[in-house]
Structure 1
Amino acid sequence: MTRFLEFPSPTCFLHVLSIAVTAASVPALAQAQVVQHDAQANDKEAPSTISAEQMTGHPDREVTLERDVEITRGALVVNSDHAVYRQVEDQIEASGHVRMQRFGDHYTGDELKLQIDTGQGYVLHPTYHLARNNAQGKAQRIDFEAEDRARVTDGTYSTCEGPDPDWYLKAATLDLDTGTETGVASRTILYFKGAPIVAAPTMSFPLSDARKSGLLPPTLAQTSNGGLEVMVPYYFNIAPNRDLTVYPKIITRRGLQLGASGRYLSETYSGQTNIEVLPNDQQTKTDRYSVSSTHTQTLLPGLTYAWNLNAASDDDYPNDFSHSITVASQRLLLRDMSLNYGGSFWSAAAHVSNYQVLQDPAAPIGRPYERLPQLTWQAGRQDVNGFDWNVDADFTRFWDPDLVRGDRSFVNTRVSYPLIRPGYFVTPRLALDATTYRLNNAAFGAPTSLTRVVPTLSLDSGLVFERTAQFRGETITQTLEPRLFYVRTPYRDQSLYPIFDSAEADLSFAQLFTENRFVGHDRISDANQLTAALVSRYIEPSGAERLRFALGQRFYFSEQRVTLG
């Protein structure tokens, strides 16, 4: 005979009279039952549902459960091999392959005792998984001090996935408070790949994605210029959308460096500012600093402004204080402010920008021109009776105290007619570039007004063949895509034109399919050339590209005459 026992909580036991069950020792094979549980943390008024292969005892006082035991109360589910449920005390004692789900958290262990109404109890030799932050660990014992507080004894804690996490804490005690969403570890060691990294008498950490003020892990470094470096950062969680990290650093050969990094974010603006200061560097006997600040803000729908400001006290600052090869070799610090507007098919921007140049005496570099200002306008439409058109316009005032300077204006108009069909495409395009210069500080006898108009015709075409293939035992799509790209641009003598922002483009596969081999707008290369290429791609059923092979060659039908000189 199958029998289910469903008990109300003790607080409402006297109000329910429909639970008269004969007190007897009755073996039973429990059937599956689906119960909708309230996910609230303390559903004390929910009934208790128990099931097992064998039940003995008095349902209104104490029931002993054997084999395939399950006890449910609201968001609480306990499974075990053996259990005792005391109705009056509202208490569970379970042993043998104990599993407990409580408010989304999962626990397994050898033995469990739990006072359901208060949430107090313990579990021995547990493993656990916390739903709120995907944390996991194991311990000798977990004591549930309340529904939102637990103490882990001689345990581990990690938010890394998998049975063997790369990073984890091991502590004598871990106090986990889900009410305040904080954890405190005592006599703790931080491990990475099984090796101890940092030991601390106490350490606190958040139990959710919410940030928490506190010390961050210290860093140690050794450099040839500064000697031993010790940095101890402190994080301030000022508000949900603002924070500040202060990182004092002791550099044995230079002194005490103070650094700070602040971030802010709102619906209409965001930004970050970083500051480092080293008063009275012991080696240079000067005050040294670096500052960087970025900001973006929406003023009106479509209208934004932004800044990107960077500065350093001297030429050697990045090399002396950066641990990144990229930053250490950085020699141009941008300072740019912009106002931008984007419409339905056009956009405009205004920039004011210059650079701080950090010179290396062994390899000096030229100073880029300042742009005071740069005004740009772009517009475009696709598929207008089959045609695509685009217009780029730009006015820039280039300034340098020593070199030729002046204004440059250009308009570049492009019209194309793409023919895209299954298996092939053909795209003829016509472009017209008109540029004017008004120059100052030019060499004696050199022109101060220049105008250039250059047309460009190009034809891009290709075929696409596909077949089903096998790649490492997986069915994928393999393509074969031959492509031809022809460009014709007539020669214009540009030897008297200044070089404000142009350079020869680096050779790459993508650059084979461009019309101008120069970047910038001071030079337009003459061209009578054909690029032939062959591409093969391996595409997964999901559409992701697994592998690509590409081969290309450019053929010149006439010698190119335009140079940067």
Structure 2
Amino acid sequence: MKKPLIFVFLMLAHLCINAEGVNLNCAPTQSVCDNCPQYQTLFPLEQFSENTGALDIEADKSEIIEEKYLLSGNVEVNSENLYLSANEVEVSSADRSLLAEGNVRFQDESYLITSATLSSSRKDDELIAVATNANYQDYSVGLGGANGYTEVIEKTPTSVLLTNTTYSLCPVDQNDWQIDADQIELNLKKNRGVADNATIKFYGVPIFYTPKYSWVLAGRGSGFLTPEYSTYNEPGQNDDAYSLRVPYYFNLSPDRDLLVALTYMSSRRFIYEGKYRQLIAPKISADHQDSIYSIEAKYLPEDKITGLKRWLVNFSEELDLSDNIHLSAQFHRVSDAKYFREISKTDTDLKTLKSSLKYTYEDKENNFSLAVLTENEQIVNAGTPEYTRALEGSMSKTLNADQKIPIQVDLVSTRFAHETATKDSGTRTHGKFGISRELNIQYPKITPRANIAITNYSLKNSPNINRTILGSGLNIDFTVINETNLFSYQVNHRISPLITYNYRAKKVQGNIPLFDSTDKYDDIISFSDLTSGERYTGLDRITNANDITLSLESTYRKVGALEDDKDLLSLKIAQTYYTDDEVVSNISNTNYETRKSYSDIAASIDMSLNKFNISSAAQFNPDKSKVVKKENTISYSPSSRQFVSLSFIDDGTKETEKFYGAYPLTDSIHVFGGIDKTTSTGVTNAETTGIAYESCCWAFRLAHFKEDNSSGGHNYSTGMELVLTGLGSTSSPLKDKIENKIQGYTANLR
């Protein structure tokens, strides 16, 4: 069964269409294309005549016989929209017909034709050209234009009819693949090609025959997409299993499409798949996104191993109801927690699937926003239950936003739910009122602030809790900006020494449940963690403070750099000094934990120069005079096909190394790979290797995956993908998996 399926895969790979944007073509004006030979035409392109409504004729000899012009010897006929050269040409002034013989070269606005004979006539003021034993080329689209040989070609402004012909989208005289057919009709108006009795050949070897075959000439069109073949291993089985996925794409209309697919897993049986997308409305303004609706479903009627029905449903909708109102919906569910590991073979690192419905209103002019959210979750893979927002409403308003004393008012109320009955649940309502003022001092910039936060917990299985915390603070900003030079670039050097004082009342909070709060200091203390003045995420823990934070930020940015451009060099360092040796704890039923009178020092350096990027962050313990946690990354990325990235992470308990890269062996072949390894234990979390071939008219990719299965072993899988220019392209699961495993790599076969 395995070998026949592989053969079917190779056949179907050539019965495909353009659907999701993979484009192997070059523009007609582009003389040299990546991974392609120099753009060639059947003969050098000629310049059309500038004489409107007249013919420019050159010949060694001419004569007139009964309203016919007989031309011979190096004949050239040129008009405003066609060119013709031949050994002999006969032109009739009566019916405006033409007959050319011997070394014929014909050029109109889209096609080139070379042949032994060519005749042309006019019908309803349209030119009809017929040539025999001809070579043809659609040069209007450049290197990816159709070309081939035909016994007869009939060309009109809206169609091309080929008889006993070949057809290929490879460069001229380099037809790695081609279609041989009794007849091919290219309907330029309908953007459709239809072939009768077609045989598809790959490097001259016939691989597939069909009595009737239709494809889209340009853009999206209905038809088969590129199949995907992969091998994988089931836990506890020595022999590899294999998977074959054959997708079919329906181009329903310009604003909607449907993808259906049939996947055969040798160890599990058949999976039926469908994905429908629809553009509800184009984006209202440049600040918005298109409103899109999408639903995806996969169904395995009976798993051969478990005997269960396995399925996936993923629905999403993003809809702008007006300039200010947006609706977002997401429903993501699978049949069971092991679906991704056993069936999908992707997203195995997910812990929960979130489903949500969110309504937002934002009025930027009046500095007002409102949101309502409800969500639910499903535990998958090795995840554990978390709290979800059964219902949440939030509001934010800034008063006097353009004045010297802005007032910020925030209110959020959330009803939390949990699958575990013994876990606390209930409604948390939190309000915050804050005020700040920038003093009328030119330098330094001094901004005092004050706030009050009131929180109420209405709990299901515990007494209600009220919490009121007062806070204040002061920012003293000594920022200076100078223009200077760095790395031979003219830059703006911004140096920002900042002194921040934070005060928040000390409040017992150990009896408050932890719904959504986490400690930012659990991994590595960053510059932003210290300068934010708040240790915990969420609202269940608000740290006490009577602290001073000293920070220094120095950035070098090119003059005239765009908003998304990176700084050439950025240096940051910060430390906080505490007057209280106790801090609010985020350990359940624990009020406080002790701390030093100062924090560890957080420092980082980031440099971006040409294609090089260096990033280093460190957490330094002054007592031990030692760097206790660090993250270092260095990358070189001239393109998505040539790059290398190295990351080393030490979080104090384990050390991790990540390597990603791609390297071109030739203009057409590149290798890619990635590894994620916990070096302190020697466990390889994930490893990906692959090779890709890309040319103008076809491309192929092969990738091998190794993943830790959390049981002391690894899962292995191998996938491959083949794309033919203009006949096969898709956004496949293989593409998504490679991009997920190798950061920085773009998996489109181009």
TM-score class, shorter: 0.7 to 0.9
Q: Compared with structure 1, are the counterparts of its residues 450 and 231 closer, same or farther at alpha carbon in structure 2 (3 Å cutoff)?
A: same
Match of 1:262 in 2: 276
- Name the SS for the 2:82 alignment partner: strand
Q: Compared with structure 1, are the counterparts of its residues 205 and 302 closer, same or farther at alpha carbon in structure 2 (3 Å cutoff)?
A: same
State how far apart, in whole Å, the 2-side matches of 1:206 and 1:98 are: 28
Match of 1:205 in 2: 215
Q: Compared with structure 1, are the counterparts of its residues 368 and 459 closer, same or farther at alpha carbon in structure 2 (3 Å cutoff)?
A: farther
2:453 to 430, 434, 454: 434
1:402 to 394, 417, 422: 422
AA of the residue aligned to 2:517: S
Would you say how many aligned residue pairs link Structure 1 and Structure 2? 499
State how far apart, in whole Å, the 2-side matches of 1:220 and 1:540 are: 49
Any idea what the Cα deviations from partners look like across 1:524-551, whole Å, max 9, x if unmatched? 3434212212223346777873763322
AA of the residue aligned to 1:115: S
Question: What TM-score results when the alignment is normalised by the length of structure 1?
Answer: 0.74
AA of the residue aligned to 1:290: L
AA of the residue aligned to 1:450: R
5 Å-filtered alignment, 1:376-395, equals 376-380=394-398, 384-385=402-403, 390-395=408-413
State how far apart, in whole Å, the 1-side matches of 2:206 and 2:573 are: 53
Q: Compared with structure 1, are the counterparts of its residues 71 and 427 closer, same or farther at alpha carbon in structure 2 (3 Å cutoff)?
A: farther
1:483 to 473, 496, 506: 496
State how far apart, in whole Å, the 2-side matches of 1:32 and 1:273 are: 51
Match of 2:193 in 1: 183
1:341 to 343, 347, 361: 361
AA of the residue aligned to 1:498: P
Q: Compared with structure 1, are the counterparts of its residues 486 and 408 closer, same or farther at alpha carbon in structure 2 (3 Å cutoff)?
A: farther
- Residue 499 (structure 2) pairs with residue 453 (structure 1): no
Q: Compared with structure 1, are the counterparts of its residues 35 and 222 closer, same or farther at alpha carbon in structure 2 (3 Å cutoff)?
A: same
AA of the residue aligned to 2:422: D
Greater shift in the superposed pair: 266-275 or 295-304: 295-304
Q: Compared with structure 1, are the counterparts of its residues 504 and 137 closer, same or farther at alpha carbon in structure 2 (3 Å cutoff)?
A: farther
Match of 2:310 in 1: 288
Match of 1:502 in 2: 517
Match of 1:561 in 2: 583
Match of 1:3 in 2: none
5 Å-filtered alignment, 1:183-262, equals 183-184=193-194, 186-189=198-201, 201=210, 203-209=213-219, 211-225=220-234, 227-262=241-276
- Name the SS for the 2:568 alignment partner: strand
5 Å-filtered alignment, 1:528-543, equals 528-538=548-558
When the two chains are superposed, the root-mean-square deviation of aligned CA atoms in Å is 4.2
Q: Does the aligned pair in 2 maintain the 1:502–1:520 contact within 8 Å?
A: yes
Match of 1:369 in 2: 387
Compute the displacement of 1:441 (Å): 4.5
AA of the residue aligned to 1:303: I
State how far apart, in whole Å, the 2-side matches of 1:68 and 1:466 are: 68
Match of 2:68 in 1: 61
- Residue 482 (structure 2) pairs with residue 465 (structure 1): yes
AA of the residue aligned to 1:392: D
AA of the residue aligned to 2:157: E
- Name the SS for the 2:542 alignment partner: coil
Match of 2:329 in 1: 307
- Residue 185 (structure 2) pairs with residue 170 (structure 1): no
State how far apart, in whole Å, the 2-side matches of 1:208 and 1:130 are: 12
Q: Compared with structure 1, are the counterparts of its residues 391 and 200 closer, same or farther at alpha carbon in structure 2 (3 Å cutoff)?
A: farther
State how far apart, in whole Å, the 2-side matches of 1:122 and 1:81 are: 13
Match of 2:128 in 1: 119
Q: Compared with structure 1, are the counterparts of its residues 510 and 449 closer, same or farther at alpha carbon in structure 2 (3 Å cutoff)?
A: closer
State how far apart, in whole Å, the 2-side matches of 1:148 and 1:205 are: 17
Greater shift in the superposed pair: 88-97 or 294-303: 88-97
- Name the SS for the 1:208 alignment partner: coil
Q: Does the aligned pair in 1 maintain the 2:550–2:575 contact within 8 Å?
A: yes
Question: What TM-score results when the alignment is normalised by the length of structure 2?
Answer: 0.58
- Percent identity between the two aligned chains: 17
Compute the displacement of 1:354 (Å): 1.7
- Name the SS for the 1:321 alignment partner: helix
Q: Does the aligned pair in 1 maintain the 2:491–2:558 contact within 8 Å?
A: yes
Q: Does the aligned pair in 2 maintain the 1:69–1:83 contact within 8 Å?
A: no
Q: Compared with structure 1, are the counterparts of its residues 540 and 49 closer, same or farther at alpha carbon in structure 2 (3 Å cutoff)?
A: farther
Q: Compared with structure 1, are the counterparts of its residues 451 and 63 closer, same or farther at alpha carbon in structure 2 (3 Å cutoff)?
A: farther
State how far apart, in whole Å, the 1-side matches of 2:149 and 2:140 are: 17
The structure, 1 or 2, with the larger RCO (C-alpha pairs under 8 Å, 6+ apart) is 2
Q: Does the aligned pair in 2 maintain the 1:376–1:394 contact within 8 Å?
A: yes
Q: Compared with structure 1, are the counterparts of its residues 48 and 513 closer, same or farther at alpha carbon in structure 2 (3 Å cutoff)?
A: farther
Compute the displacement of 1:386 (Å): 5.4
AA of the residue aligned to 1:264: Q
State how far apart, in whole Å, the 2-side matches of 1:302 and 1:543 are: 25
- Name the SS for the 2:341 alignment partner: helix
State how far apart, in whole Å, the 2-side matches of 1:329 and 1:245 are: 26
Match of 2:537 in 1: 519
Q: Does the aligned pair in 1 maintain the 2:496–2:553 contact within 8 Å?
A: yes
AA of the residue aligned to 1:398: F
Q: Compared with structure 1, are the counterparts of its residues 438 and 176 closer, same or farther at alpha carbon in structure 2 (3 Å cutoff)?
A: same
Match of 1:49 in 2: 55
State how far apart, in whole Å, the 2-side matches of 1:427 and 1:205 are: 68
Q: Compared with structure 1, are the counterparts of its residues 204 and 328 closer, same or farther at alpha carbon in structure 2 (3 Å cutoff)?
A: farther
AA of the residue aligned to 1:522: D
State how far apart, in whole Å, the 2-side matches of 1:292 and 1:97 are: 58
State how far apart, in whole Å, the 2-side matches of 1:428 and 1:398 are: 36
- Name the SS for the 1:247 alignment partner: strand
Compute the displacement of 1:216 (Å): 1.9
Q: Compared with structure 1, are the counterparts of its residues 129 and 407 closer, same or farther at alpha carbon in structure 2 (3 Å cutoff)?
A: same
2:91 to 78, 86, 89: 86
Q: Compared with structure 1, are the counterparts of its residues 456 and 547 closer, same or farther at alpha carbon in structure 2 (3 Å cutoff)?
A: closer
Q: Compared with structure 1, are the counterparts of its residues 454 and 405 closer, same or farther at alpha carbon in structure 2 (3 Å cutoff)?
A: farther
Q: Compared with structure 1, are the counterparts of its residues 134 and 435 closer, same or farther at alpha carbon in structure 2 (3 Å cutoff)?
A: farther
Q: Compared with structure 1, are the counterparts of its residues 273 and 119 closer, same or farther at alpha carbon in structure 2 (3 Å cutoff)?
A: same
Q: Does the aligned pair in 2 maintain the 1:96–1:111 contact within 8 Å?
A: yes
5+ long unaligned stretches in structure 1: 1-30, 37-46
AA of the residue aligned to 1:536: Y
State how far apart, in whole Å, the 2-side matches of 1:530 and 1:282 are: 63
State how far apart, in whole Å, the 2-side matches of 1:321 and 1:178 are: 43
Q: Compared with structure 1, are the counterparts of its residues 560 and 54 closer, same or farther at alpha carbon in structure 2 (3 Å cutoff)?
A: farther
Any idea what the Cα deviations from partners look like across 1:269-297, whole Å, max 9, x if unmatched? 53111111111211111111111111233
Q: Compared with structure 1, are the counterparts of its residues 547 and 348 closer, same or farther at alpha carbon in structure 2 (3 Å cutoff)?
A: closer
Compute the displacement of 1:263 (Å): 1.3
Q: Does the aligned pair in 2 maintain the 1:340–1:348 contact within 8 Å?
A: yes
Q: Does the aligned pair in 1 maintain the 2:199–2:206 contact within 8 Å?
A: no
- Name the SS for the 1:320 alignment partner: helix
AA of the residue aligned to 1:144: E
State how far apart, in whole Å, the 1-side matches of 2:180 and 2:272 are: 34
State how far apart, in whole Å, the 2-side matches of 1:483 and 1:371 are: 39
Q: Does the aligned pair in 2 maintain the 1:273–1:291 contact within 8 Å?
A: yes
State how far apart, in whole Å, the 1-side matches of 2:553 and 2:397 are: 31
Q: Compared with structure 1, are the counterparts of its residues 485 and 232 closer, same or farther at alpha carbon in structure 2 (3 Å cutoff)?
A: same
AA of the residue aligned to 1:438: Y
Q: Does the aligned pair in 2 maintain the 1:340–1:350 contact within 8 Å?
A: yes
